[in-house]
Amino acid sequence: MSFLVFIGSVALCLVVSSALLQRFEEAAKADGSLSFLVIGDWGRKGAYNQSEVAFQMGVVGEQLKIDFVISTGDNFFDSGLRGIDDPAFDESFTKIYTSSSLQKQWYSVLGNHDYRGDVEAQLSPVLTNHHKRWLCLRSFIVNAEVAELFFVDTTPFVDKYFTEPGDHVYDWRGIGPRKTYISNLLKEVDLALQESNAKWKIVVGHHTIRSAGLHGDTDELVKQLLPILQANNIDLFINGHDHCL
């Protein structure tokens, strides 16, 4: 009898915790305000003006006294990281974002290019342990008092990476049955948004929802994610994918 009760409560705990996105707390400034920089599609080992942009981010970051940095994914071109020891991590991140104002927490999601490498490496706690400011997760929440930020893993939504991968090999480990992954994620984001009391609700993902840029709209997100964001009256959606400066 007690064995059964034990199993029952363990199962309940697993169900409850899997329904919650991991949360992180960021204190706002003394006056209640918050400032942060957002960058996406950046890991080029300094090329494509990455170093120049990094330098200016340092200057602006100092002026704004930023609290943290958001990365909207495509963190390492062309195919993510090869492993936790991939020198691309230092060549594209550590040795590029050297300004003192950028030595803050970075909150990152994955982009489609990251999914072409070793996804588990970018998400690895080992990497975060070695580089304290690095944190990349699939989907999570940052509660920053005046604002709550909801990070959403958008790559698994996009059909063409599954149906027409071309020469690319995507690392779908951890996605499991894709439909279940997406429906659970949408439910969790919806629930978290409903429960949020933050003045500003901000959603962050890699792919565009609506865009006049090169990639244009992401139809899967227009159909599946946008209605949830609208129903919950979010204030802002921040994405990368389209390269605009």
Catalytic residues: 215
Give how far Cα 180 sits from Cα of 67, 97, 169, 174, 187, Å.
35, 37, 21, 12, 10
One-letter amino acid at 60 equals V
**Residue with the CB atom nearest ligand NAG in the bound state:** 49
- The answer to whether 131 and 115 are in contact (CB under 8 A) is no
CB of 117 to ligand NAG, least distance (A): 22
Give the residue with the Cβ less far from ligand NAG, 53 or 186. 53
Distance, CA of 19 to CA of 244 (rounded, Å): 35
Pairing between β-strand 147-152 and β-strand 140-144 as defined by DSSP bridges: antiparallel
Give the residue with the Cβ less far from ligand NAG, 48 or 161. 48
Our CA angle for 80, 139, 157, nearest 5°, is 70
Give the residue with the Cβ less far from ligand NAG, 49 or 94. 49
Binds ligand NAG by CB under 6 A, chosen from 48, 55, 161, 172: 48
CB of 245 to ligand NAG, least distance (A): 8
> Is residue 55 within the footprint of ligand NAG (CB under 6 A)?
no
Binds ligand NAG by CB under 6 A, chosen from 22, 49, 98, 194: 49
In a 3-state reduction of DSSP, which class is residue 5? helix
Give the residue with the Cβ less far from ligand NAG, 65 or 243. 243
Binding footprint of ligand NAG, residue count (CB under 6 A): 2
Region at 50 (left for phi over 0; alpha for psi -120 to 50; beta for the rest): alpha
Binding site for ligand NAG (CB under 6 A): 48-49
